[in-house]
Structure 1
Amino acid sequence: MTILIPLLGDQLYHGLASLAGVDRANAAVLMAEVMAEATYVPHHPKKIAFILSAMRHFADELRAAGWRVDYVALDDPANTQSFDGEVARAALRHGASEIRTVEAGEWRVIAMQNGWAALTGLPCTILPDTRFIDTRADFADWASQRKRLVMEDYYRLLRKRTGVLMDGDKPAGGAWNFDADNRKPPKKGLAYPPHPHFVADDITQQVLTLVAARFSGNFGDLLPFGYAVTRADALLALADFMARRLPQFGDYQDAMVTGEDHMFHSELSSLINIGLLTPMEVCVAAEAAYRAGTVPINAAEGFIRQILGWREYVRGIHWIAGPQYNDSNHLGATRDLPAFYWSGETDLNCLKQAIGSTRRNAHAHHIQRLMVLGNFAMLIGTAPAQIHEWFLAVYDDAYEWVEAPNVIGMSQFADGGLMGSKPYAGGGAYINRMSDYCKGCRYDVKQRTGPDACPFNSLYWDFLARHEEALKGNQRLWRMYDGWRRFSGEEQLRIRAQAADFMASIA
């Protein structure tokens, strides 16, 4: 009697719950590359290649560990190209007596998993994903006791529970949060260490050939390809970040620099989200660097907060909000996503830089995503579903459980404030302060109106005016609305006309 263990492409972890305690002699691990998953959004070619290569390497590791692995390649002529089809075929092929799987991180895949018992006539056990630091139940319990789900409160709870960056019952360094020290603009002459590049082996080369043939029309550059695609290489990438970039990550984590796609960012999120690294081991490594005196507290704490705090928090939001969360549209935004998000052809330099990094790397750091790409989409009133799909498609670390709350909630305020206490709207001044992008732009960041005025300025004020009824009661926005009301009536009309003309020009 064979236990069939379907293993998803973002579950590449030897300690996965579905593998635990199973007699390997009586089990078959199913891994399937299917077009349905590669095409439900038009994924960046680098993202597809990363996942497929990591899957194939992980399959070899499982075989070496004594597992029987049934691997279905994308170009297998018998491939049904869907999870349902491959689970059904494998159940028959192995004479399976039961199915054992770990819950997916996307509602649409969970719906498939929930149907596998009826599809195959076999009992199907769906186990929780234990790779996270907190459990779904514990987050739901925490959330049920609060009127507002403040991430900082949750983060402090997990710090205490795990002991990470704690000195007894006190936070290391004497404060819970050093965010105020992590907002430095880029400094002239600052040297940025190179990002690690891993040479593609034969397995990866085969994947690159396959992806080039099947997905050449997708947004994004496939080459050069230097991803860590094994556990061993992921650990090397982790060590490289701790030694070479984490020490200055804190100071400049919000900065943006023309031509510097990586700066001091870890870019470990794709490795954590796929399973090659665990969130706790990454947090422990950052704390160890701080304790050893090689990393300042603001860098260690700021990095750990992104994982122990924010990552766990958005995952909890995903589960308690339910599948309908993806349809949220609190501000009634209906505009189409501008075509230049796909082409990169825009004369707004900040957008060109962020989209360019995305095209080259399947990656852009969090401020580029939030305060440039997401901010612009929200200011012009882009339909949340469209910008959500774009983010899900183009980033190598994007899976629904983490991407949807970040975009729909944090970036677009489409959930009405479930996650964020205010919309993360900003004009050109913020981008100018935190980057050198404005110096290379054809627009003047200091002008609100006129042919050379930075569009972010009029769009920002127009956004506030357009949504005044919905937002005027927000206590964190009173200064902004006070500033809007200080403009003369004529100036307000000029600003809104400027915004309308610009939005018409990109329709």
Structure 2
Amino acid sequence: MTLLACRNKLVSMANALLILGNQLFDPTHKSLKDLKIDRVFMREDIELCTHFKYHKQKIALFLMAMRSYAEELRAKKFEVDYQELEFSDLPYEAHFTKWLSKNKITHVSLFEIEDKFFETRIFEALKKSGVEVNVLQSPMFLTSRTQFKAYLGKYKRPFMRTFYEQQRKRLKIMVDERDEPIGGKWSFDELNRKPLPKNIEPPEPNLAPNTKHLEAVRTICEKHFADHPGNLESVWFAT
């Protein structure tokens, strides 16, 4: 397998796109505009739900967000192959490579994977399958892997303070023309730690309208994750 080091580069042949549960990026993002994507693969991962005994609300957020995103992709004319949650002895990457083989996929595009352990599993499986891989820079972070590597090369002992100051300068956030901090110093932490005055009553949070996926996901959580903490009586997040 050839791992294409060129990030965001157009692959000459048709692509499948792998989307993980934490990669629900804007379908109109520039990374996707130049790709000729035949099919998108999405799969609800049982490991993602059971790695720890997550709160039911968190599991519901995972699943509803993914299902809503698949609908959004289809509305943008992407062909999405979506596999709903199942309890299988096969790991995620085995289902993915099985899908690649079934659909005769030879080129795969995917965003950078932040989970290094899972990234290794995916790339080892893709290598065995013989497909070509195009890695797209993740829009999840302000700083690319290349930029962070350059930072680590400049500072032998990386600290949050030096990274924070470097980011402010690079992104031109609250700095003057000499890259000095506006206000005369980099941190105003002491002002950020004042307690909320007792006479201020915080407003009630806005509750997002429920999506059509809520009832199906609620049934899944109550059936398969009954021993997990929490409940789904009031779901407040938007998906």
Residue of structure 2 in register with 1:132 after alignment: 141
Question: CA deviation digits over 1:465-485, x for unaligned, max 9?
Answer: xxxxxxxxxxxxxxxxxxxxx
Question: Of 92, 104, 120, which aligns to 1:95?
Answer: 104
The structural deviation recorded for 1:2 is: 4.5
Question: CA deviation digits over 1:13-41, x for unaligned, max 9?
Answer: 025676341124xx211000021222222
Partner SS state of residue 70, structure 2:
helix
The structural deviation recorded for 1:52 is: 0.9
Structure 1 position 54 matched with structure 2 position 65: yes
Structure 1 position 12 matched with structure 2 position 24: yes
For structure 2, the residue ranges without an aligned partner over 5 or more in a row are 1-12
Structure showing greater radius of gyration is: 1
Structure 1 position 36 matched with structure 2 position 36: no
Partner SS state of residue 202, structure 1:
coil
Letter in 2 for 1:61: E
Residue of structure 2 in register with 1:86 after alignment: 95
Partner SS state of residue 172, structure 1:
coil
Residue of structure 2 in register with 1:152 after alignment: 161
Structure 1 position 178 matched with structure 2 position 191: no
Letter in 2 for 1:37: L
For structure 1, the residue ranges without an aligned partner over 5 or more in a row are 230-507
Residue of structure 2 in register with 1:23 after alignment: 36
Question: Of 114, 137, 158, which aligns to 2:123?
Answer: 114
Structure 1 position 70 matched with structure 2 position 73: no
The structural deviation recorded for 1:45 is: 1.3
2: CA distance, partners of 1:136 / 1:86? 28
2: CA distance, partners of 1:16 / 1:114? 24
Partner SS state of residue 213, structure 2:
helix
Assess, with a 3 A threshold, how the Cα gap between structure 1 residues 16 and 145 changes in structure 2: closer, same or farther: same
The structural deviation recorded for 1:213 is: 1.6
Assess, with a 3 A threshold, how the Cα gap between structure 1 residues 122 and 197 changes in structure 2: closer, same or farther: same
1: CA distance, partners of 2:75 / 2:195? 48
**Contact 2:16/2:40 (8 A) holds in 1:** yes
* Greater share of strand: 2
Assess, with a 3 A threshold, how the Cα gap between structure 1 residues 48 and 81 changes in structure 2: closer, same or farther: farther
2: CA distance, partners of 1:175 / 1:184? 19
**Identical counterparts, % of pairs:** 27
Residue of structure 1 in register with 2:10 after alignment: none
Q: Which runs of 4+ in 1 moved over 4 A?
A: 15-18
Letter in 1 for 2:19: L
1: CA distance, partners of 2:92 / 2:236? 28
2: CA distance, partners of 1:166 / 1:208? 48
Residue of structure 1 in register with 2:15 after alignment: 3
Partner SS state of residue 96, structure 1:
coil
**Contact 2:174/2:181 (8 A) holds in 1:** yes
**Contact 1:166/1:172 (8 A) holds in 2:** yes
Structure 1 position 200 matched with structure 2 position 205: no
1: CA distance, partners of 2:24 / 2:78? 14
**Contact 2:94/2:125 (8 A) holds in 1:** no
2: CA distance, partners of 1:122 / 1:148? 39
1: CA distance, partners of 2:101 / 2:231? 39
2: CA distance, partners of 1:126 / 1:109? 15
2: CA distance, partners of 1:113 / 1:126? 12
The structural deviation recorded for 1:149 is: 1.7
Partner SS state of residue 106, structure 2:
strand
Partner SS state of residue 166, structure 1:
coil
**Contact 1:17/1:127 (8 A) holds in 2:** no
Q: How many residues align?
A: 225
TM-score (norm 2): 0.83
2: CA distance, partners of 1:18 / 1:156? 28
Residue of structure 2 in register with 1:242 after alignment: none
The structural deviation recorded for 1:228 is: 1.6
Assess, with a 3 A threshold, how the Cα gap between structure 1 residues 43 and 49 changes in structure 2: closer, same or farther: same
Residue of structure 2 in register with 1:225 after alignment: 235
Question: CA deviation digits over 1:103-158, x for unaligned, max 9?
Answer: 21112211112112234222233333233111222222222332432212211211
Identify which of structures 1 and 2 has the higher relative contact order when contacts are C-alpha pairs closer than 8 Å and 6+ apart.
Answer: 2
**Contact 2:31/2:136 (8 A) holds in 1:** yes
Alpha-carbon RMSD across the aligned residues, in angstroms, is 2.3
* Greater share of helix: 1
Question: CA deviation digits over 1:51-70, x for unaligned, max 9?
Answer: 11111111111111111100
Question: Of 225, 229, 237, which aligns to 1:215?
Answer: 225
**Contact 1:16/1:131 (8 A) holds in 2:** no
2: CA distance, partners of 1:209 / 1:200? 15
Matches within 5 A, 1:350-389: none
Partner SS state of residue 61, structure 2:
helix
2: CA distance, partners of 1:167 / 1:120? 52
**Contact 1:5/1:18 (8 A) holds in 2:** no
**Contact 1:4/1:98 (8 A) holds in 2:** yes
